[in-house]
Chain A
């Protein structure tokens, strides 16, 4: 069946070619979170288990000068740390550059692990303007289901972060017991 396609594997970002190792291992930055149209479209469609959501939401948008300092190119992985946690993200050139010293991560489970839960008694956590460090890493960005398992460990017995991170992936489709759903779902769509 032909239907209008709204799927986009990766957000469209400007090209960049960073050569060389970079001048620093750890970059101190200001972290901002929020939404953009790629993250919004993917989240609201419900494609949260998919690779698309990982790329739309688990991406750290950086100024190209900051990327040169670290020596990273588009879609390399970086480790972002704050006082509240750490997470591995893709990095890409920001469409809103220049904003040297500030990184932008779309809201989503990835950003949640590093934002502040402090509400200062006004109900709203501080999602923007958090100090963070960014460093290059070889670790992989986790898919949504794997990330939720790694962060919250609600339904795994294992406590060790590294073990949970390297467990078999839960994949891009719902994991559950049953058959009825598969029969009911219209896979032609």
Chain B
């Protein structure tokens, strides 16, 4: 890496923009704009800056559909939208996946379309924090806002999360280094513990690293719970951690004034999945007998929480909502995108502001090679290589305004800073257009059959 002089050649600054990268939704960014492009970003982390100063080589600008040779061809908006609407209207089991990198306003149109056509609506939570959402249903949700963490927390525990790499400003802005009302000295007033099998960059700047063994998280949290409840540990080493260390950690956690557990995909992607989070939530509940503790899932995309909150408000289920029977239905392992794809059920797949090509396992993606795929996105990505219709959207928080929800559930309005490329459209407009066109092609909405009581049963 070489030294780079600061960018001084710009027309104007747009202040207090919201970052459209991770669940931290930092809302203090300043964009340096020149000739309608963001040329530099102040205050953002490496990830946020790199996302906002996008790669224009791969920016999707013109709608495209596959021709008979299997190559993408530029077309006008009407043709592309008609083609996409035709795929959706003729399908029996469509799946609309994504939504996490778009605005809540777009989801509103999406849920109307999904309900009309009888689709499955799912978001990235299905491959990241889905188990956390299940655990929240199992065990509760002792959450606090990030502002409380900044002002009050004196003990921060990161578990299965590498905040330094995936949420770089989380530690600086909300949790560790920042000064707060009751934590005037910032980092010096806080104890940071990282629990991760990997000696990650977060672990390197923590006070304590608990490197339990791979897939050992469930046993480890249970051991802490046992100690918190005054039990003796019989084994000398639990999940690779000596029992003395577990006693010491439990004591430290009990004595914290305000502790927060941030957990990431390290817990949800290992074998015990949602049971890991169950036990972590219960550990926080046990800790609350002694002190004040809370927890927050480290959500990845800037609006992944927004979709879960929005869907839970609209239909009662956070993700993986199936409308095929005319009413919302949700069944773990049945109405989720990965399970549907592995079982080869969907016959039409719409990707909106997501990248299954980059993030789904091979076993699930194989089915995308057999069915029509519609992509609404801003960049040419791995999913474009599998897409049959490509609809270029716009960049929320930079080219288009919208509402998003931070990882702790605080809604934030993301303002518009620059104009979008003239041939792109807002995601909200695209989904609304698709809805109207699908409604023309399929006149009857997908509704539940009228309930007729069985006369023999009376």
Contacts and interface: CB of A to CB of B under 8 A. Distances in A.
Contacts of A1: 9, 34-35, 37, 39
B332 interface: yes
A136 interface: no
Contact of B273 (A42, A124, A149, A154): A124
A41 B165 CA distance: 10
Contact of B380 (A49, A109, A149): A49
Interface string A140-162: 00001100110111111000000
If over half of B's interface residues share one DSSP class (helix, strand or loop), that class is named, otherwise mixed; here it is: mixed
Given A122-B274, A122-B333, A46 B59 contact: yes
B71 A112 contact: no
B239 interface: no
B360 interface: yes
Contact of B422 (A43, A115, A184): A184
A133 interface: no
Contacts of A174: 57-58, 72, 380, 384
B455 interface: no
Given A102-B214, A122-B274, A154-B386, A37 B74 contact: no
A16 interface: no
Contact of A96 (B34, B70, B71, B198): B198
B159 interface: no
A19 B336 CA distance: 48
A48 B162 contact: no
A148 B39 contact: no
A107 B362 CA distance: 12
A176 B67 CA distance: 10
Contact of B46 (A3, A41, A108): A41
Contacts of A32: 197-198, 214
Given A36-B165, A44-B51, A45-B50, A181 B61 contact: yes
A176 B53 contact: no
Nearest to A154: B369
Contacts, number: 273
B130 A3 contact: no
Interface in B20-59: 21, 34-35, 37, 39-41, 46-47, 49-51, 53-59
Interface string A164-186: 00000000011111111100111
A22 interface: no
Contact of B381 (A48, A85, A104, A114): A48
Interface in A41-64: 41-50
Interface in A2-48: 2-6, 8, 12, 30, 32-37, 40-48
A128 B270 contact: yes
Contact of A123 (B37, B61, B165, B338): B338
Interface in B98-129: 126-128
Contact of A37 (B46, B270, B369, B381): B46
Interface in B312-349: 319-320, 332-334, 336-339, 342
Given A152-B369, A175-B71, A176-B64, A45 B55 contact: yes
Sort chain A's interface into a size bin: 35 or more
A84 interface: yes
B382 A144 contact: yes
B358 A108 contact: yes
B226 interface: no
Contact of A153 (B57, B362, B369, B379): B369
A184 B265 contact: no
A98 B365 CA distance: 33
B83 to A, nearest CB: 15
Nearest to A102: B214
Contacts of B51: 41, 44-45
A189 interface: yes
Contacts of A50: 55
B366 A152 contact: yes
B362 A151 contact: yes
B47 A5 contact: no
Interface string A77-103: 000000011000000000111110010
Contacts of A117: 338, 342, 360-364
A113 interface: yes
A21 B274 CA distance: 44
Contacts of A122: 130-131, 134, 273-274, 332-333
A126 B270 contact: yes
B200 interface: yes
A26 to B, nearest CB: 20
A89 B274 CA distance: 31
Contact of A124 (B40, B268, B382): B268
A180 B74 contact: yes
A140 B200 CA distance: 29
B153 to A, nearest CB: 24
Interface string B244-284: 00000000000000000000011011110110000000000
A33 B362 CA distance: 14
Most A CB atoms within 10 A — which of B1, B47, B162? B47
A99 B336 CA distance: 34
A177 B70 CA distance: 11
Contacts of A187: 56
A105 to B, nearest CB: 13
Nearest to B35: A1
27 contacts: A1-B34, A1-B35, A3-B40, A4-B4, A32-B214, A36-B166, A37-B168, A45-B51, A46-B380, A47-B55, A84-B362, A98-B199, A109-B358, A112-B361, A117-B338, A117-B361, A121-B333, A123-B319, A123-B332, A123-B337, A144-B385, A151-B362, A174-B380, A176-B64, A177-B71, A178-B64, A179-B74
Given A124-B269, A189-B37, 10 more contacts: A49-B380, A124-B268, A124-B273, A125-B338, A128-B270, A129-B215, A144-B385, A148-B382, A154-B369, A178-B74
